[in-house]
């Protein structure tokens, strides 16, 4: 069983992540982790504040001489030059602030923000880099692309940059939709015996767990509802690579809708929970959109889930052992899949 946990706050000294149950023999370099962290940090639409972040990290355990050892992996990411924000009793709409203040019986929204912020996703990405590497060693390719930004579809780098600039100048923010594809997954990952074994449900939980992700669909997703069974049966790709909660040998394809960043540069109307006066909660340093960064985070989050599913199906403690089993399984299943 592959398990992971993160800890740490936005303005704490460190974020930390622990990955347990990861096999030995996976070659990992700091550059691979840094590359994933950089993709998250420098994704289009992020604020200038991100340029100040460096995500300096240290692998504390589970890796020796550039190879994973099978022991629990832990990673520390330093939060550089951050002063703890002052106490605030003004919840920001669209954030965890109000619900968290009620839940933890506090009038200080800063205490809630510290952990509810998407800063936590840096730790998840650092751990996801290990899972992505493991999948890569099994010739599994995980990719994502942003399909739409606000109302803009058919994106190019230029049109996206122009739309982000337009929104920023207008004091507005944007949501969007991203697609995640995974190629060459062995057939039969996941299961149908219990709901929590269904791989679609597991991926849904992992991706809906990313801050601001509000929609998730597999393959044809919501569009399937309007199709007749005859039409739907003509395109096996509509399954998104999952049938009955298991990989079916096709490309895995899921999509997520990300809401517009709630923190508006001009502030949002709120109510101070001490005075009950109406006030504007300001978010001057907010990102303009999180959809590009969320797509990167989703690759890493999905990789952790899929690596876990591979380990459940094939077992094994070292990469060599697992690779042999996966190769053998692929030969066996492809004999059938090729003839369909």
List of residues contacting ligand FMN (CB under 6 A): 47, 94-96, 116, 118, 121, 210-212, 259, 261-263, 283, 286-287, 290, 293-294, 297
Shortest distance (Å) from residue 207 CB to ligand FMN? 11
Note the residue count of the chain. 340
Shortest distance (Å) from residue 95 CB to ligand FMN? 5
**102/231 with CB nearer ligand FMN:** 102
Which distant-in-sequence residues (6+ apart) come within 8 Å of 53 by Cβ? 41, 80
**25/265 with CB nearer ligand FMN:** 265
Shortest distance (Å) from residue 172 CB to ligand FMN? 12
Q: Order of strands, edge to edge, in the sheet holding 213-218?
A: 141-149, 176-183, 252-258, 213-218
**44/241 with CB nearer ligand FMN:** 44
Shortest distance (Å) from residue 109 CB to ligand FMN? 12
Contact of 147 with 153, CB cutoff 8 Å: yes
Shortest distance (Å) from residue 185 CB to ligand FMN? 25
CB atoms within 10 A of CB 194: 9
- Give the whole-angstrom CA distance, residue 220 versus residue 200: 13
Q: What are phi and psi of 58, to 5 degrees?
A: -140, 135
Shortest distance (Å) from residue 125 CB to ligand FMN? 9
**240/263 with CB nearer ligand FMN:** 263
**287/299 with CB nearer ligand FMN:** 287
- Give the whole-angstrom CA distance, residue 260 versus residue 238: 27
**168/259 with CB nearer ligand FMN:** 259
Shortest distance (Å) from residue 163 CB to ligand FMN? 17
**241/262 with CB nearer ligand FMN:** 262
Rounded to the nearest angstrom, the gap between the alpha carbon of residue 248 and the centroid of all alpha carbons in its chain is 23
- Give the whole-angstrom CA distance, residue 242 versus residue 219: 8
Which distant-in-sequence residues (6+ apart) come within 8 Å of 41 by Cβ? 50, 53, 55, 122, 293
Show the DSSP H helices in the chain as ranges: 30-41, 49-52, 97-103, 109-116, 121-137, 157-169, 199-208, 229-233, 291-314, 319-337
With CA atoms as reference, report the closest residue to 71 among 61, 59, 81.
61
What does each C-alpha distance from 284 to 52, 113, 122, 313, 317 come to in angstroms?
A: 16, 15, 22, 48, 48
**207/310 with CB nearer ligand FMN:** 207
Shortest distance (Å) from residue 289 CB to ligand FMN? 9
- Give the whole-angstrom CA distance, residue 306 versus residue 290: 23
Shortest distance (Å) from residue 237 CB to ligand FMN? 28
**144/283 with CB nearer ligand FMN:** 283
* Residue whose C-beta lies closest to ligand FMN: 263
């Amino acid at each position: 069983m592959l398990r992971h946990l993160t800890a740490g706050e936005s303005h704490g000294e460190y974020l930390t992540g622990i990955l347990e149950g990861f096999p030995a023999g996976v070659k990992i370099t700091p550059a691979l982790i840094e590359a994933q962290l950089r993709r998250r940090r420098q994704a289009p639409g992020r604020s200038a504040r991100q340029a100040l972040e460096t995500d300096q990290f240290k692998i504390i355990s589970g890796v020796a001489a550039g190879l994973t050892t099978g022991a629990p992996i832990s990673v520390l990411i330093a939060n550089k030059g951050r002063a703890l924000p002052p106490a605030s009793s003004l919840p920001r709409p669209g954030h965890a602030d109000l619900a968290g203040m009620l839940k933890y019986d506090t009038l200080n929204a800063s205490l809630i923000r510290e952990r509810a912020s998407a800063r936590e996703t840096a730790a998840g990405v650092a751990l996801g880099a290990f899972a992505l590497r493991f999948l890569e060693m099994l010739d599994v390719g995980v990719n994502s692309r942003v399909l739409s930004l606000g109302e803009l579809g058919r994106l190019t780098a230029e049109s996206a940059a122009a739309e982000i600039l337009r929104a920023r100048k207008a004091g507005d923010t944007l949501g969007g939709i991203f697609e995640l594809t995974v190629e060459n997954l062995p057939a039969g990952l996941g299961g149908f015996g219990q709901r929590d074994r269904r791989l679609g449900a597991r991926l849904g939980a992992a991706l809906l767990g990313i801050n601001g992700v509000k929609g998730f669909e597999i393959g044809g997703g919501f569009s399937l509802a309007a199709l007749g069974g005859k039409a739907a049966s003509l395109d096996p790709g509509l399954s998104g690579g999952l049938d009955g909660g298991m990989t079916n040998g096709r490309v895995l394809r899921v999509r997520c809708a990300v809401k517009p960043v709630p923190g508006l540069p001009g502030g949002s109307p709120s109510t101070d929970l001490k005075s009950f006066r109406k006030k504007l909660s300001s978010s001057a340093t907010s990102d303009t959109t999180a959809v590009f960064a969320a797509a990167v985070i989703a690759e890493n989050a999905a990789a952790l889930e899929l690596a876990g599913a591979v380990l459940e199906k094939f077992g094994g403690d070292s990469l060599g052992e697992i690779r042999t089993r996966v190769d053998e399984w692929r030969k066996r299943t492809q004999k059938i899949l090729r003839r369909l």
